[in-house]
Amino acid sequence: MSGGAPEPPLAMVQHLIHIGYPKAGSTFLQAWFECHPELCYVPAGLGGFHNVYEIARPRERAYKYFVTSCEGLSTPHKSTGLVPFEMSMRWMELTDELKKNQADVCTLLKSLYPGSRIIIVTRGFKGMIMSGYSQYVRAGGVLSMFKPVPDGVRADAYAYVSHYYDFDYLIQLYAEKFGEDNLIILPYELLRDDQDQFLSVLEEKLGLEHVEIKLARLNPSLSPEELYWYPAISSVVASAAVRLGPSRFDTIYRWYVSKTLENKLRPLIEVLRRWKPDRKITEADFSEEPLKYCAGKATRLKDHSLYAAYAREYLWDE
């Protein structure tokens, strides 16, 4: 920031809400929010504040935006904010309620913070599904790409994909509540391909001064070898823990998941990789079938010039 820039009056400071999709650059954006001097953001906070006491304290610096960011705003469920526990796939039980919950969250945010600006970063469907599987196995999921999936589980998964990846629905919700002019819609693919341009576009849309902030890739998906071995290891751990009874199983497996989320199994998987170097999961192993349930779910993005280069990833050329 230039030293002579005037501080914006408090009445002009806006609230910025990031409706984060998991595996669509949310962790990166949150780190950027925290680094930019014109943004007031704290992890897991509301509007840049940890609690109400901080609101009552005099500000030590001026900001253009108070920022709220959470992936749970796009995928609201009862366990939001808790350690994920993916083995049971309880998240799919709430598929029928997902869109209602999204609408309720949008209405609540409008009631609490009218006039806010909204950021939604989307990601192409196949990339989202692949990264979603990576996150699933990293959170203790045991379903392997190379083992038959029960028909009921497959049907539930496709129904979940159909609702969860409906970008048109979520964007329409926030356009109606907050107004099209307050929406900032960006493709994750631009962040993937050109971080500097992505941030430059975001700064321009927010009216921020350019600040050189370089961030490494955060929360990357698992490697092909890790994608193969994680569910295999999780199956062994689950089989051993379940013999100790439901209560102990839950305690042990949650502890185990807290380690897998931090990729603590990487040294073990490196040993397994050397033992059986051909064991891996690549893009070619992912079925194209789930994409049928995503077609037509991103039509609102066609008019955004930043998406022109990514037509294939959003299934517009199908």
Residue 58 within a domain: yes
Q: Note the pLDDT of residue 158.
A: 74
Residue 20 burial (C-beta neighbours within 10 Å; 0-12, 13-18, 19+): buried
CA atoms within 13 A of residue 160's CA, in its CB half-sphere: 16
Q: Note the pLDDT of residue 250.
A: 83
- Determine the Cα–Cα distance for residues 23 and 132; give it in Å rounded to an integer: 7
Residue 25 within a domain: yes
> Which has the closest alpha carbon to 285: 183, 188, 145?
145
Q: How many percent of the chain have pLDDT more than 70?
A: 87
- Determine the Cα–Cα distance for residues 148 and 169; give it in Å rounded to an integer: 32
Q: Note the pLDDT of residue 10.
A: 61
For residue 115, which amino acid is it? G
Residue 102 within a domain: yes
Q: Note the pLDDT of residue 317.
A: 76
Positive or negative: CA dihedral 199, 22, 310, 171 = negative
Q: Note the pLDDT of residue 87.
A: 52
Helix, strand, or coil (residue 186)? strand
β-strand pairing of 14-19 with 39-40:
unpaired
Least confident of 113-122, 183-192, 207-216: 207-216
Q: How far lies 114's CA from each of 7, 15, 165, 182, in Å?
A: 23, 9, 26, 11
251-296: per-residue pLDDT in tens? 888 889 888 888 888 999 999 999 998 998 988 888 888 888 888 9
Q: Phi then psi for 293, rounded to 5 degrees? A: -85, -5
39-68: per-residue pLDDT in tens? 999 999 999 999 999 989 888 788 999 999
Asked if pLDDT for residue 101 goes beyond 50, the answer is yes
Helix, strand, or coil (residue 209)? coil
Q: With bands split at pLDDT 50, 70 and 90, how would you rate the model's confidence at 306?
A: very high
Asked if pLDDT for residue 4 goes beyond 60, the answer is no
Asked if pLDDT for residue 120 goes beyond 90, the answer is yes
Q: With bands split at pLDDT 50, 70 and 90, how would you rate the model's confidence at 11?
A: low
61-99: per-residue pLDDT in tens? 889 999 999 988 998 877 776 665 655 555 555 667 888
Full domain range(s) for residue 151: 10-310
Residue 315 within a domain: no
- Determine the Cα–Cα distance for residues 14 and 151; give it in Å rounded to an integer: 48
Least confident of 136-145, 197-206, 237-246: 136-145
Q: With bands split at pLDDT 50, 70 and 90, how would you rate the model's confidence at 1?
A: very low
The arithmetic mean of pLDDT across residues 195-202, rounded, is 95
Residue 169 within a domain: yes
Helices (H), 113-223: 125-138, 151-164, 167-178, 188-193, 195-206
Residue 14 within a domain: yes
- Determine the Cα–Cα distance for residues 272 and 146; give it in Å rounded to an integer: 17
Higher pLDDT, 141 or 306: 306
Q: Phi then psi for 276, rounded to 5 degrees? A: -135, 80
Q: Any idea what the Cα angle at residue 49 is, between residues 46 and 50, rounded to 5°?
A: 90
Retrieve residue 307's tokens: 């998406």
Count: domains in the chain: 1
Residue 3 within a domain: no
Residue 187 within a domain: yes
Q: For the chain, what is the largest distance between any 2 Cα atoms, rounded to a whole number of angstroms?
A: 67
Asked if pLDDT for residue 2 goes beyond 50, the answer is no
CATH of the domain at 73: 3.40.50
Q: What is the mean pLDDT of the chain?
A: 86
Least confident of 73-77, 105-109, 213-217: 213-217
133-181: per-residue pLDDT in tens? 888 888 888 877 777 666 666 777 777 777 888 999 999 999 999 999 9
Cβ contact 159:91 at 8 Å: no
Region of residue 3 (phi > 0: left; psi between -120 and 50: alpha; otherwise: beta): alpha
Q: Note the pLDDT of residue 165.
A: 87
